[in-house]
Amino acid sequence: MPRVSCARSSEEKAPGSALASSIGEPTARRPRNKHTKSAIKKRIDAALVEHDAAVIKKSRPGEPRHLVASYVKCHELVYGVKPAELYEPKEWLGACSAAKRLLDDAFGGSFDAAGAFSKWLWAREAKRHEERREQGRETTRIVWRAQFVWKNLLTDYRAATARGRR
């Protein structure tokens, strides 16, 4: 393949020259950003659909975004609203990255173990949330960082499983 020099000689300055035709015309449009709010919403919706399909088949989907989709579903079931913060591009990407780290570091890549943790966490939270509402106390939420980044809930889970309570 012949090498093309970036330096132009005086003969190659014409727009119809051989160098200009070998390089091609510059594109006027930039590539689209994959991390816009609408693109992230589509990703979340796709992950939720894949998560629901896996639940129906009683199988576990295999990507960290499905753990985040599970978080979104559980959040909606327990609190009655979707976690609005995850619909921001940086938050969604951060949650997916944190879910991958948790999956690899805490569960050795096992989606079954990560799913058992999530199931335990949200069953406990649903019970506690209902108790707080009945007592008229203000409720707090489990934010995605609490599930995927901070280790206190993971430690609670490990202690509960060591005591034999799931």
The domain limits of the chain are 37-162
Average pLDDT over residues 14-28: 57
Q: What angle do CA 133, 134, 139 make, to 5 degrees?
A: 20
SS3 call for 162: helix
Contact 133, 141 (CB under 8 A): no
pLDDT at 132 over 90: yes
Across the chain, what does the average pLDDT equal?
A: 83
Q: Other CB atoms closer than 10 Å to residue 87's CB: what's the count?
A: 14
pLDDT at residue 9 tops 90: no
Note the pLDDT tens digit of each residue in 24-47.
565 666 556 667 788 888 888 888
Total-model pTM: 0.73
* Helices and strands, counts by H and E, the chain: 7, 0
Exposure b/e, 124-157, CB count within 10 A at least 16 = b: bbeeebeeeeeeeeeeeebbbebbbbeeebbeeb
Torsion of CA 75, 79, 82, 83, to 10 degrees: -70
Q: What letter does residue 33 receive in the DSSP assignment?
A: P
Chain segment 67-114, per-residue pLDDT in tens:
999 999 999 999 999 999 998 989 999 999 999 999 999 999 998 899
> Nearest CA to 67 among 34, 37, 112?
112
